[in-house]
Amino acid sequence: MGLIEAFALQAAQALLVIAIAPLVTGVVRKTKARLLMRRGASVFQPYRDLLRLSRKEAVLAVNASWLFRAAPYVIFAFTWLAATLVPTFAFDLPLGPSADLIAIVALLASARFVLALAGLDIGTGFGGIGASREVLIASLAEPALLMVIFALALVAGSTQLSAIADFVQSPAVGLRTSLGLTLVGLIMIAIAENGRYPIDNPDTHLELTMIHEAMVLEYSGRHLALIEAASSLKLVFYISLIAAIFQPWGNQFEDGGLRYFVALGAYLAKTLGSAVLLGAFEVTVAKMRVFRVPQFIGVALMFGLLAGLLRLVLRGM
C-alpha cells in the first residue's frame, strides 16, 4: 500500500465517521419511535437539527469564561480523533501505531474532563449535578473498560486495535468464553458511557436523573451543534470499536478496487444494524436510579475480570 493511498484511506475514514454519526443517532431514534408505535422523525432529522443549530446565533451566559467557549471545539476534536483511530473499513492505517486502545480510550476521557468542566463554568445547579454524576459514572466505567482491554490483550497479545482484529480473524480463534465475556462487558460499558438507557435518558431535558443533558444545558447555537455532533460521534466510536474487535469481517478480501467497497458496505451494515439493536434494547428496559448505576458497571467490571482470570487459569478459554 503506497503512502498516499494509506493517508487517503485515513482521511476517508475521518470523514466517514463524521458523515454517518448523525445518521446512526437518527436510526436509533427512528427504531425506538417505530417500536413505540409512533411514526417518528426521519432518520435524517439529526442532520437538519445540526444545520439549524449552526445557523442560529450562540447565546452565552454573561459570566461564561474562555473555557466555556473553547470546550465544544476541544470536545469535538478529541472525540473525532478517537473515532478516526478505530478501524472502520480499512484496518492497517498509517495512524494506527500512534495510539493503542488505552490511548484511544484516554482521548475520550480528556473530552469528558473538558465537558464536565464546561458544565461547572456557568455556576448553575444543573451544570453541577450533570458534571458530578458524569465523573461518578466515568470513574466506574474506566477501570471496567481497562479490565476488558486487559482481557482482550491477554487473548490477542496486544492492545493495538489492528493486531486484535487480525487475531480475531485468524482461524485459530474458535468460540471463546473469555471473548464472549469481554463482549458483554464492553457493550455494558458502551451503554453507560454513551448515557443510553438504562443509565441515562438521551431524549429528555429537565429530568432529575439526567446527566449529559444537564451539563450542556447552557449551550446553544454552533456550540451546541458541536457538542451534539460529538456525542453522536462517541456512539459511532463505540459501535465501530465493538465491530472492529468482535466482527472484523468484510475486510479480508484480497487487493482490488472492489475490496474497499465491500468493506465499506459491511461496515455500514454492521453500524446501522447495531443502531437498530440499540434502539430495540432501549425500549425494552426502564431507566435505573443513579445509585444503581455502580452495580450495573460493577457487573461489567466483573465480566472483564472473569475473562482475564479465565484466560490466566485456562489457556484455552
Partner 1 sequence: MPIGVALICVLGLLATAGLAIGLSRKAIATRVIYGASAIICGVALANAAVGLDEAISATLTLPFGLPWLGAHFRLDALSCFFLVVVNLGGSAASVFGLGYGRHEPTPGRVLPFFPAFLAAMNLVVIADDAFSFLVSWEFMSLMSWALVVSHDRSSENLRAGFIYIIMAAFGTLALLLTFGILAGPDGNYAFDAMRAHTLAPGGIALVLLLVLLGVGSKAGLVPLHVWLPLAHPAAPSHVSALMSGVMTKVAVYAFIRVVFDLVGPLDWRLSMIVIAAGAVTALLGVLYALMEHDLKRLLAYHTVENIGIIFVGLGLALAFRANGLIAAAALSASAALFHVFNHSVFKSLLFFGSGAIQTATGERNMDHMGGLIRGMPKTAMTFLIGAAAISALPPLNGFASEWMLFQAIFLSPKFPQLGLRFLAPASGAMLALAAALAAACFVKAFGISFLGRARSAAADAAQETDSWSLTAMFALATLCVIGGVVPGFFTNALAPASHLLTNGAMPILNLTAPWTPLLPAAANPNSYSGFMVAVMLLAAAAATLLFVRVFANRAIRRSPAWDCGFPDPSPVTQYTAGSFAQPIRRVFGTIAFHAREIVTMPRPGDLAPAQFQVSLHDPVWNAIYAPLTRGLGFVTDRMNRLQFLTIRRYLTMVFVTLVFLLLVLAIWA
| DSSP-derived 3-state class of residue 132 | helix
The amino acid occupying position 114 is V
* 317 counts as binding partner 1 under rule CB under 8 A: no
Q: CB-wise, 114 or 278, nearer to partner 1?
A: 114
Residue 183, number of CB atoms within 10 A of its CB: 18
Place of cell 482481557: 151
Residue 39: CB minimum distance to partner 1, A: 29
Among 131, 181, 188, 239, the residue binding partner 1 under the rule CB under 8 A is 131
* 28 counts as binding partner 1 under rule CB under 8 A: no
DSSP secondary structure of 141-175: HHHHHHHHHHHHHHHHS-S-HHHHHHHHHSTT---
Q: Are 26 and 42 in contact (CB under 8 A)?
A: yes
* 177 counts as binding partner 1 under rule CB under 8 A: no
Among 20, 99, 183, 187, the residue binding partner 1 under the rule CB under 8 A is 99
CB contact set of 309 (below 8 Å; sequence gap of 6+): none
Q: CB-wise, 40 or 221, nearer to partner 1?
A: 221
Cα separation of 215 and 202, whole Å?
Answer: 12
Grid cell digits, residue 18: 463524521
Work out the angle between the directed axes of helices 66-85 and 221-246 (0-180°, nearest 10): 20
Q: CB-wise, 284 or 291, nearer to partner 1?
A: 291
Grid cell digits, residue 295: 452495580
* 20 counts as binding partner 1 under rule CB under 8 A: no
* 7 counts as binding partner 1 under rule CB under 8 A: no
Residue 72: CB minimum distance to partner 1, A: 9
Grid cell digits, residue 168: 480475531
* 169 counts as binding partner 1 under rule CB under 8 A: no
Among the listed ranges 33-41, 155-163, 178-186, 237-245, the one in contact with partner 1 (CB under 8 A) is 155-163
Among 36, 269, 312, 314, the residue binding partner 1 under the rule CB under 8 A is 312
Q: CB-wise, 264 or 302, nearer to partner 1?
A: 302
Interactions with partner 1, residue window 76-95 (CB under 8 A)? 76-78, 80-81, 84, 95
Among the listed ranges 120-128, 169-177, 190-198, 261-269, the one in contact with partner 1 (CB under 8 A) is 120-128
41 burial (CB, 10 Å; 0-12 / 13-18 / 19+) is middle
* 102 counts as binding partner 1 under rule CB under 8 A: yes
* 49 counts as binding partner 1 under rule CB under 8 A: no
| DSSP-derived 3-state class of residue 114 | helix
C-alpha triplet 140, 141, 147: angle, nearest 5°: 105
Among 98, 173, 204, 261, the residue binding partner 1 under the rule CB under 8 A is 98
Among 37, 206, 208, 286, the residue binding partner 1 under the rule CB under 8 A is 206
Among the listed ranges 156-164, 190-198, 238-246, 275-283, the one in contact with partner 1 (CB under 8 A) is 156-164
